[in-house]
A and B are shown apart, each in its own frame.
Chain A
Amino acid sequence: MLRLRKTNSLILLIVVLSVFLVGCTTGNTPANNVGGENSPQGENINSGEVNLFTTRHYDTDQLLFEMFEEETGIKVNVVNAGADELLERIQLEGEDTVADALITADVGRLHTAKERDLLQPVESEILFSNIPDNLRDNDDTWFGLTKRARVIVYSPDRVDPSELSTYEALTEPQWRGRIAMRTSSNIYNISLMASFIEVWGEEKSLQWAEGLKENLARDPQGNDRDQATAVASGVADVAIMNTYYIGGMLNSANEEERNVANSVEIFFPNQETDGTHINVSGIAVTKHAKNKENAIKLMEFLSGEQAQKIFAEANNEFPANPNVQWSSWLLGLGDFKEQNIDLTALGDNHSKSIMIWDRAGFK
């Protein structure tokens, strides 16, 4: 009988424990504190919070949010996930969304959010003066925070910079078997193609993708860092990748990664023609934000010089605010000519871009 009792009490314990744990679970959710529009004191109750959906998750971001809280008394609650998951969630939650602000690392997704009517315009003199026109939405729904370029990385041993000119030139026969790039599923490649569709049109973009595929040194795979490694190790001679990953590798804990980064060079293509592809990470306020004022305060804070410096350097990107002093590594890269397109094209051409990669048979 003793044994039975033991089993029973074990079950009881588990049940009690579960109830307790579930209790904590629901109790802790910040969303429970979001007062809701029906409460007359809603604004006051909410003054302490802003709920942020973000695809960024650098530890320095958390530091910035703490600084923000110290300065304003507003606590930043964060949900991290992929941009697409976050958009899907905001859309599903509709009017009741708990998200106040949205940060994505790719402006195309912000534009998609705008197209799906998930964002609202923001009036803020601070934002207008901090963020240049070309790095923000025409209707002021989203604002760029950092900028990055998708460039050609090459091995100085095997490639003379004079051989390099444009993205298009990489489809020429002398590059056969010499190029590395990650898969076309990746958002950076989707946005790259989206910008080409905007500049060149679909026909030429498709030909480019086909030509690039012909010249690949290996099947598309890995992440951007793997492309730099491919160049350093001799698998490929050139790679298309984002600048900041080289910056990240230079700071790596692994000495070999630092060696890789030191053994390759960065080339900004299309300087004589239509400019290097850039992308922007940005922030926006959701259409049904419950803490709109706080969200705007957060945006203003993040566009300020002090925050911009930390925010951009966390990922070795170019800060959007032109008054911010660049890090020495960025200064070393120098200024360059950017693609002169409306960044909203990256969102508009998103699906088309995926389809062109598919039609070219580019994995």
Chain B
Amino acid sequence: MFIIKSYKHKKDVNDLFKLRDIKTNVNMWSVLSFVVIVLIILPTLNISLKLLNETSENWPHIKEYLLIDYIINTATIVAFGGAFTMIIGTSLAWLITAFKFPMSKFFKWSLLLPLAVPPYVAGFTYHGILNYTGVIQTFLRNNTNINVNQSLFNIMNHKGAIFILTLVLYPYVFAIVRSFLAKQSADLIENSRVLGKSPMATFFKVVLPISRPAIVGGVSLVILEILNEYGLFNYFGISTFSVAIFRTWFGLSDLDSAIRLAAIVMIMVLMILLLEKLMRGRKRYSYTSSKIRPIQPIELKGIKRILATLYCSVIFGFGFLIPTIQLLHWALLTYREILNVKFLGYLYNSLRVTTIATVIIVVISILIANYARIKENILTKIYTRITILGYSIPGAVIAVAVMIFFIDIDNNTYVIRQAISHNSTRLFLSTSLVMLIFAYVIRFLGIGYNSIESGFDKIGKGYFEASRLLGMSVTKTFFKVDLPMIKPAIISGFILVFIDILKELPLTMILRTFNFHTLATKAYQYANDEMIHQAAISSLLIIFISAAMIFVLNMNMSKGGRKNVYKNK
């Protein structure tokens, strides 16, 4: 039986006589990852250097009259928004995972839908519903002659902003905690029940502690979103940092001070991320046990059934249904005047730039996540940190960083391009959508990366190693083994990024090209021109596309979920 020939590697061994570490460390994955990371860092670095400039004459003014206000406003909204999204998101996630009640299947995915509503759209919609000319007051006035206390119906203040942000951002917490709980072994929770703990006690004593990393992860996302929100705060007249950055940069024409403010935000963000890391400690999101039995939801009885359905309905109603219906009503009022063939153009523009940017983000995320997984070292740790960088920088600052970067590139490549074609102009990339797409990639890479990294985390390294030992290279292994297995994570990442870009405002406003409108810019423009009814159709299109995406996401997740349960039996 000694006929076994050694494997085909004779000639490879011969041409391997180089320093082995260079050989093992330089491959397509490492080189591409490096290039991408450098491209991401360069513009940000460029703008960070401005922090070294001396403070401008405006800085003392900002410090004396404004900074405290900015900090208090931002901190208040972040604290309350974070707390409320945490409470709502976590409680809903537990309710949906552990119990059955009327419509619980429907709420399982529809409670994600408020994610489709851009905060500024929710802001002007609620203001439109509640204010003096809105449907509620009009009804009361004309039918019952009740004239309400206006200050009770005023939403344009801190409380209102917290209300709106809670309603449209809690899905981040809900989604992450829900998928975390779905992956938890039922043993833990059932043990608690067997030991005589009530569902309530189980929730507080077992569920909350074990899902802390997921909750903190979700709330961090919420906080980052709040810190970056511009449209809503600007409309409500609340001076948060994002508003202040625009005000100093544009109002006072003081880019340096604006960047200084942005740096303060970034320090806050880094502190939050650090806190999250500390709280997570050594716990991992991924599970290592191969024996996972998912939690079986138990049927609620009596009044609890109704209360559970009611609670979910209220949140779904306020977060999605009510604003959507109001927008539909406004759209009906204005579609004759507004809706024309140009809307197809806006729709196409939105879908086009969003799709391109999302595909690029997903590809880059896969590239870096796979590389970081294969080579676990300091360098790849830094890489993964950098992917999230853009998510913590205010959109306006990314916009200017990217613009400066591209104008530099254009100036430096002008001679070369001239040599190739006489018709080439000095500004080439910086007058194209490449710039906008590049900015989107920097801004939202973190979202896509997180999703795809967690996909890799979930499958672990075992399959990869098995494939390598069966003779497949890293790249072949990736296409044959990793890619099919992380497909659900890729789809989730794609959809989350897509929705975020579709809603995006500051980057699109600043970096778009001639005659270029997206649904988001169009909606904001009308709202900003105080033509709120006219803003309804664009807003609705954003909401519908995102909602359809969320529906697909849910199908994908529940399918993927089922499959994984099988696999791990």
| Residues of chain A whose beta carbon lies under 8 Å from any beta carbon of chain B | 3-4, 7-8, 11, 14-15, 17-18, 21-22, 24-26, 29-32, 34-36, 38-39, 51, 57-59, 77-82, 84-85, 87-89, 92-98, 112, 182-183, 185, 190, 218-226, 229-230, 232-235, 245, 248, 252-254, 256-257, 259-260, 350-351, 354-355, 358-359, 361, 363
Contact = CB atoms under 8 A, between A and B. Distances in A.
Contact of A185 (B234, B352, B360, B427): B234
B151 A218 contact: yes
Given A31-B514, A182-B237, A232-B132, A26 B479 contact: no
Interface of B: 58, 61, 65-66, 127, 131-134, 137-138, 147, 150-151, 154, 156-157, 234-237, 239, 243, 246-247, 249-253, 330, 333-334, 337-338, 352-353, 355-356, 359-360, 400, 403-404, 407, 410, 422-428, 430-434, 437, 479-480, 483-484, 487, 509-510, 512-517, 521, 525, 528-531, 533
A305 to B, nearest CB: 25
A24 B400 CA distance: 25
Secondary structure at chain B's binding surface: helix, strand, loop or mixed? Answer: helix
Given A7-B483, A39-B423, A355-B61, A219 B333 contact: no
Given A17-B355, A229-B131, A253-B334, 14 more contacts: A14-B359, A21-B356, A30-B513, A77-B514, A79-B512, A80-B517, A84-B246, A95-B426, A219-B237, A223-B530, A226-B156, A252-B533, A260-B132, A351-B58
Given A31-B427, A80-B521, A253-B333, A221 B432 contact: no
A84 B237 contact: no
Contact of B433 (A26, A252, A351, A355): A26
Given A185-B234, A252-B533, A233 B434 contact: no
A311 to B, nearest CB: 15
Contacts of B432: 25-26, 29, 31-32
A256 B510 contact: no
Contacts of B337: 253
Contacts of A84: 246, 249-251, 253
B479 A4 contact: yes
Nearest to B66: A358
A241 to B, nearest CB: 10
B426 A89 contact: no
A234 B147 contact: yes
A112 B253 contact: yes
Nearest to B425: A36
B427 A98 contact: yes
Nearest to A187: B251
Given A84-B250, A254-B533, A31 B431 contact: yes
B403 A78 contact: no
A358 B239 CA distance: 11
B404 A92 contact: yes
A190 B252 CA distance: 11
B302 to A, nearest CB: 44
A10 to B, nearest CB: 9
Nearest to B234: A185
Q: Which of B404, B410, B483 has the most CB of A within 10 A?
A: B483
17 contacts: A4-B479, A21-B352, A32-B432, A58-B529, A79-B515, A85-B509, A95-B426, A96-B407, A218-B151, A221-B154, A222-B156, A229-B131, A233-B137, A253-B330, A253-B333, A257-B133, A361-B65
Given A7-B483, A26-B434, A85-B250, A36 B426 contact: yes
Contact of B356 (A25, A38, A97, A230): A25
Contacts of B147: 234
Nearest to A24: B352
A25 B352 contact: yes
A229 B487 CA distance: 52
Contacts of A254: 133, 333, 533
Given A185-B251, A190-B251, A232-B132, A29 B530 contact: no
B403 A18 contact: no
B237 A222 contact: yes
Contacts of B480: 4
A191 B505 CA distance: 26
A88 B410 CA distance: 18
Contact of B65 (A38, A190, A252, A358): A358
Given A31-B427, A39-B422, A355-B61, A222 B127 contact: yes
In order of increasing CB-CB distance, the 8 nearest A-B pairs are A84-B250, A233-B132, A31-B431, A256-B133, A221-B237, A183-B237, A253-B333, A221-B156
Nearest to B142: A256
A358 B64 CA distance: 10
Contacts of A354: 247, 251-252
B425 A34 contact: yes
Contacts of A235: 132, 150-151, 154
